[in-house]
Structure 1
Amino acid sequence: MSLSDINTKLHQIESDLNVFREVFLSDTTDLASQYRRVRNDLRLIAIRQIQVEKNLMLLLTHFGIPSTTCDTEQELKEFNKNYNKLSNATHHDY
């Protein structure tokens, strides 16, 4: 292999490395952008969840249903009974 051949190979390797570097940096930038987008989406979901929970608490309070969690089977039965009352009342309104 001549010195010229070696020099040509080295230039080809350098060119390939530059292409790889550009692709790698592009992919890294895309990943960072996607990460920021997903992080923002998750924040929006969390905000919406809080809003839904607040609205649910307002509805439960409005209809006199305790907003605490059901720790016992009796509380669960009571919640279901109250929920059914609420469900029947709203169906009759339409």
Structure 2
Amino acid sequence: MKTSNTILGIVGAAAAGALLGVLFAPDKGSETRKKIKDKSKDYGDNLKTKFDGIVDTIKSNGREIVDEGKSKFNQVKDDFNAIKDEAKTVKSNY
């Protein structure tokens, strides 16, 4: 989670810096508002792309963990059944 917080902090700081730069630029109010709107959209799109990438990574890793867990469970179940069958064989020999 620290990496995502760092990324969000950097993006937020960059957005704040861009906003301040636009606000102090010597342009007409309508031009300044348009620049703010355009920059906000760009940063929003960029943030959404990064967030979607993080979500996809989490989903992918989650699937791998579940699949590996199922595989381990099935292996343990098979080992248990093999031991149980062997115990029955040993018991029947006595």
TM-score bracket for this pair, using the shorter chain length:
0.5 to 0.7
Residue 50 of structure 1 is matched in structure 2 by 81
RCO (CA 8 Å, sep 6+): is it higher in 1 or 2? 2
- The answer to whether the aligner puts 1:27 opposite 2:77 as a matched pair is no
Provide the rounded CA distance (Å) in 2 between the counterparts of 1:23 and 1:5: 27
Deviation string for 1:14-71 (max 9, x for gaps)? 00000000000000000001111001001101100110100110111111xxxxxxxx
Q: Tell me what 1:15 maps to.
A: 46
Q: Provide structure 1 residue ranges, at least 5 long, that are not aligned to the other structure.
A: 64-94
In terms of fraction of residues, the more helix-rich structure is 2
- What TM-score results when the alignment is normalised by the length of structure 2? 0.64
Q: CA RMSD in A?
A: 0.9
Larger Rg: 1
How many percent of aligned residue pairs carry the same amino acid? 2
Question: What is the aligned counterpart of 1:6 among 37, 41, 46?
Answer: 37
Distance 1:52 1:16 in 2: 54
Q: TM-score, normalised by structure 1?
A: 0.64
Give the number of equivalent residue pairs. 63
Structure 2 stretches lacking a partner, 5+ long:
1-31
